[in-house]
A = this chain, B = another copy of it.
Amino acid sequence: MVKALLKEPRSGCPIATTLDIIGDRWTLVILRDIINGKKRFSEFLDSPEGIATNVLTDRLALIETAGLAMRNAYQMRPKRFEYELTEKGRNLLPVLQEVCLWANKYYPETWVAPPSFMEKQNESAG
């Protein structure tokens, strides 16, 4: 996945270019977790979707390489990191909010995201 990021984009299309980064089943789920306050590998593993450790390692590397989040070491031996969204990562929030509205409409059994998630503002708003 990270290697895919280093290739040329498939086209100049903004949708294709974005999917070159987040076009998989997991990346936006991890961003959701970081937006909701999770920071650590073990916290992401705990999410109900049950991501595999190797997939999580791969996607976190992709998220960092794409500049969606930064990692900071909070422990040295063994080295462990906490992840924090960048502005670029936070600004995917409107995409996630529209995804939530769509899913709630067509899959009424899905959870309704809390106002703290749905009403959070894009940084470029206003």
Q: What residues make up the interface of A, taking CB atoms closer than 8 Å to B?
A: 9-20, 23-26, 28-29, 32, 47-50, 67, 88, 91-92, 94-96, 98-107, 109-113, 124
Q: 10 interchain pairs (CB within 8 A)?
A: A14-B104, A14-B107, A15-B103, A16-B25, A16-B49, A19-B29, A23-B23, A24-B24, A88-B106, A94-B102
With A and B bound together, what is the CA distance between A50 and B16 in angstroms?
Answer: 11
**Chain B min CB distance to A72 (Å):** 22
Given A94-B98, A98-B98: A19 in contact with B15 (beta carbons within 8 A): no
Check if B102 sits within 8 Å of A95, measured CB to CB.
Answer: yes
Pair A28/B17 contact, Cβ less than 8 Å: no
A49 to B15, CA, bound (A): 11
CB distance from A65 to the nearest CB of B (A): 14
Of all chain B residues, which has the CB nearest A20? B25
CA distance A124 to B48 in the complex (A): 30
Chain B residues whose CB sits within 8 angstroms of the CB of A50 once the complex forms:
10
Q: How far is the CA of A107 from the CA of B22 in the complex (A)?
A: 14
B48 engages A103 (CB within 8 Å):
no
The 8 closest A-B pairs by CB, nearest first: A14-B103, A23-B25, A14-B110, A11-B48, A10-B49, A14-B100, A94-B98, A95-B98
